[in-house]
Structure 1
Amino acid sequence: MILVTGCAGFIGYHLSKKLLKKNIKVIGIDCLDNYYSKNLKLKRLRLLKKHDKFDFCKIDLKNFKKTYQFLKKKKFNQIIHLAAQPGVRVSLKNPYNTLSQNINGFINILEIARIKKVKKFIYASSSSVYGDSKIYPFNENDKENVPISIYGSSKFTNEILSSAYAKNFKLKCVGLRFFTVYGPLGRPDMAYYSFLDNLRKNKPITVFNKGIMKRDFTYIDDVIKGILDVTKKNTAKNHMVLNIGKGKPDNLMDLVNFLQTNYGKKFKIIFSKNIPAGDIKKTFSNTSKAKKLINWKPTVKLKDGIKRFVEWYKVDHGIK
C-alpha cells in the first residue's frame, strides 16, 4: 500500500491511476483547494474512486493532528508526497501561502514518515531550485545554484529538511526535480494549457521575451514511469535528488506551433520583451544520474506529447 498526497492534482492523479491499475492499494490525500478549477480536481477524484483499492480523505496537510489521526492505523510502506502550492508567479503574489503550504505541510508529512518508519519517502521537488543557473545542463551536483523564486526556495527547503531527516533518522528519502510536466488532465495555469484555452476562446496569447525561451518539457507518462521506477529501486544513500526531465530543451515557439497545428487554428500572439519575475529563460536537465539509478529513458517528444494533449482537450471540451 502506498500513500499519495496531492492525489487529485495533475501528477498525483496519473500516479494513483497507474498504481491502481497495477493492483496496488492507494491511500489518497488532497485538500482540494481552488488554486485552479476545483471541478477538474473533483473530476480526477471521481475517476480514482471507481477503483475499490482507493482510499481517500480530504485533509489539509498543515493540520498535523487531523492528518496523523487519519493515518495512524493505516498500513503503508511508502509515501509519495506531491501535495503543494504550485507556480512560480503565484508564489510572488502570495508568498506566505506558498511557504505555508509547501514547508509546513511538508514538515508534517515528513514527520509522519519518521513516526510510521516507512520504507521510502519520495517527494516532488522542482527544476525551479536551479534558479537562473547558467550551468547547462542543470546538474544535481551543482552546489552553487540558488533559487530566485519563493516557490523554488520552498522546494529547496524541502530538500534540506528531508536530507536532515534522512541523516538523523535513517529515513530513505528521494527528491524528484520535475521539469515542466505536461499532458492530458493537466494544470490549466500552465502555458501549454492556458494557450489552448485562449485559442479556443479566440483570445490572444502573450509570449514573453519575444518567444526566446526554452523549456525541458516532460510528458506525464514518462514522469509517472520515473516515479514508479524509484519506488522499486533500492537506494544506497539515505537521501538523494534526481532530475526527472526529458534531457533536451524545446523552444517555446515550437510548443506554440505544435498547439495550433494540432488544433487547426492560428494564435493571435502578443510578443513581449519582458520576462515575468521569477521566470528563467531556459531549463535543461542533466539526466545521467537518473539514467544510471533507474534507467531513466523518457520517450515522448514534444511534438507527440502535444498531439496527445490536444486530442484529449478536444474530446474533453466537445470539439470535433
Structure 2
Amino acid sequence: MKFLVTGAAGFIGYHCAVRLCQAGHDVVGIDNLNDYYSVELKQARLQRLRDMPGFAFVALDIADREGMQTLFRSHRFERVIHLAAQAGVRYSLDNPYAYADANLVGFLNVLEGCRQEAVGHLVYASSSSVYGMNAKVPFAVGDAVDQPVSLYAASKRANEVMAHSYAHLYRIPTTGLRFFTVYGPWGRPDMAPFKFTKAILEGRPIDVYNGGDMSRDFTYIDDVVEGVIRIQDCPPPYADEPESARLDAPARLFNIGLGAPVNLLDFVGCIEAATGMQAIKQMKPMQPGDVPRTWADVETLAQRTGFRPATTLAQGVASFVSWYRDFYGV
C-alpha cells in the first residue's frame, strides 16, 4: 500500500517508516526538520531512510495548508501514520505557539487531507500525558482525561477530540495511540534516557526530579512500532465487534506501553549497569507540568491485535546504550 508517514525524520516516525519499507510498502515521509533538538540526528535518520527501497522524502511543515493539500492530492495515500508534532512538556511553557501551529493547525491539515482524499485509515500519535494527574492506575483509555496539566497534553487531547469529530462527520477511520515514554536506538536527545546516558558517560551530574519519587512506563521503540503496524492494519469499525459495542464514529484509542511502571532511580540503575559507570545525582523538585507516574493498561491493545509489549527495561536500555556509544563514538 501507499503510506504517508509524517515526522519521518523523528524518532518514532523513522522506525515506523523503516518497518513499512521493509514490508514492501511505498512510503512518503515528510518532516520540517526543525531545530527543537539536533537537526544532525534527524538528518542521520533521514539518510538511512533515503537508502531504503520504496521511500521518498518531502520537506514539508504540516502547518503549511497549501503544501499539505498538494501532497494529499498528488499521492492519494491509502493510509496515514501521523507522528509529526511539537513534543515536550517543559518546552510548551515557553513556546506555546509552536504547539498551536504543529499540534492543532497541523493536525487539522492532516484530517482535511484524509477527508478530501478518502484515506482508508488515519493512525495518529497521542500521548500518556493526556491522563494528567490521574490517581487511578493503571491508566485505561476509558478514564477521564479532561484535566491536562500542560499545553502539550491539552493539544494531544484536542487531537483525539478532533479525530473523533471527523470520524463521526465524514466516516474517516481514525485510531489514536497514547504512547508511554518511548526510548531506544535513535531516541530523542530531550528525553531522560538520552540525557541520563549522555551525562553519565561524560561524568556529569544528572537532574533527578521529585527526589526520585517518580515512575514511568518506559516502552521500547520496537514494541511501539509493532503496535503501530498492527493497529494500522485494523481500521475501525471492526467486523468482529458486536453491534452493541460499536460507537457512533469509526474512532478508537489505544495505550501503547509496557504495562509495568519503573521507579526513576531504578531506571537510572539500568543505565549505570549498561554503561558500567555510576551516576552523579542532583535531586530536584517536581517540575511544572510534570506528573509523578504513568502506567499503561494495554488490555484493549492485546485484545484487538494479539500483541502485548514485552521488551524488558534491561534489554531495552542495553540496546540504547550500545547504539549511543556506536553513534557518538564513546
Q: Are the counterparts in 2 of residues 99 and 151 from structure 1 also a CA contact under 8 Å? A: no
Q: Give the letter aligned to residue 19 of structure 1.
A: L
State how many pairs are aligned. Answer: 318
Kindly report which structure 2 residues correspond to 1:244-259, keeping only aligned pairs within 5 A, or say none: 244-259=256-271
Output the CA distance in 2 between the equivalents of 1:191 and 1:234: 33
Q: Are the counterparts in 1 of residues 184 and 319 from structure 2 also a CA contact under 8 Å? A: yes
Q: 1:241 aligns with which of 232, 253, 256?
A: 253
Q: Are the counterparts in 1 of residues 217 and 261 from structure 2 also a CA contact under 8 Å? A: yes
Kindly report which structure 2 residues correspond to 1:225-304, keeping only aligned pairs within 5 A, or say none: 225-236=226-237, 238-272=250-284, 274-304=285-315
Aligned to 1:311: 322
Structure 2: gaps (5+ residues) = 238-246
Kindly report which structure 2 residues correspond to 1:1-320, keeping only aligned pairs within 5 A, or say none: 1-143=2-144, 145-236=146-237, 238-272=250-284, 274-319=285-330
Output the CA distance in 2 between the equivalents of 1:138 and 1:286: 5
* Gap change, CA 1:63 and 1:234, over 3 Å in 2: closer
- Secondary structure at the aligned position of 1:72 is classed as helix
- Secondary structure at the aligned position of 1:225 is classed as helix
Output the CA distance in 1 between the equivalents of 2:175 and 2:145: 20
Output the CA distance in 2 between the equivalents of 1:51 and 1:221: 18
**TM-aligned CA deviation for residue 106 of structure 1:** 0.3
Output the CA distance in 1 between the equivalents of 2:94 and 2:295: 26
Task: Using structure 2 for the length normalisation, give the TM-score.
Answer: 0.94
- Secondary structure at the aligned position of 1:3 is classed as strand
**TM-aligned CA deviation for residue 305 of structure 1:** 0.4
Residues 211-231 of structure 1: CA deviation (Å, up to 9, x unaligned)? 111000000000000000011
**TM-aligned CA deviation for residue 51 of structure 1:** 1.6
Task: Choose 116-125 or 66-75, whichever is displaced more.
Answer: 66-75
Output the CA distance in 2 between the equivalents of 1:216 and 1:88: 17
Q: Give the letter aligned to residue 129 of structure 1.
A: V
Output the CA distance in 1 between the equivalents of 2:203 and 2:235: 50
Q: Give the letter aligned to residue 309 of structure 2.
A: P
**TM-aligned CA deviation for residue 142 of structure 1:** 1.2
Residues 256-296 of structure 1: CA deviation (Å, up to 9, x unaligned)? 01111111111111112x10001000001111111111123
Output the CA distance in 1 between the equivalents of 2:264 and 2:17: 30
* Gap change, CA 1:40 and 1:144, over 3 Å in 2: closer
Residues 27-72 of structure 1: CA deviation (Å, up to 9, x unaligned)? 1010000000000000000000002311110001111101211331
- Secondary structure at the aligned position of 1:15 is classed as helix
Residues 195-222 of structure 1: CA deviation (Å, up to 9, x unaligned)? 1111222211110111111000000000
- Secondary structure at the aligned position of 1:207 is classed as strand
Task: Using structure 1 for the length normalisation, give the TM-score.
Answer: 0.97
- Secondary structure at the aligned position of 1:4 is classed as strand
Output the CA distance in 1 between the equivalents of 2:27 and 2:265: 39
Q: CA RMSD in A?
A: 1.0
Output the CA distance in 2 between the equivalents of 1:89 and 1:256: 21
Residues 51-110 of structure 1: CA deviation (Å, up to 9, x unaligned)? 231111000111110121133121320000000000011011211211221100000011
- Secondary structure at the aligned position of 1:297 is classed as coil
Q: Give the letter aligned to residue 97 of structure 2.
A: Y
Structure 1: gaps (5+ residues) = none
Output the CA distance in 2 between the equivalents of 1:151 and 1:60: 18
Output the CA distance in 2 between the equivalents of 1:56 and 1:68: 16
**TM-aligned CA deviation for residue 145 of structure 1:** 4.4
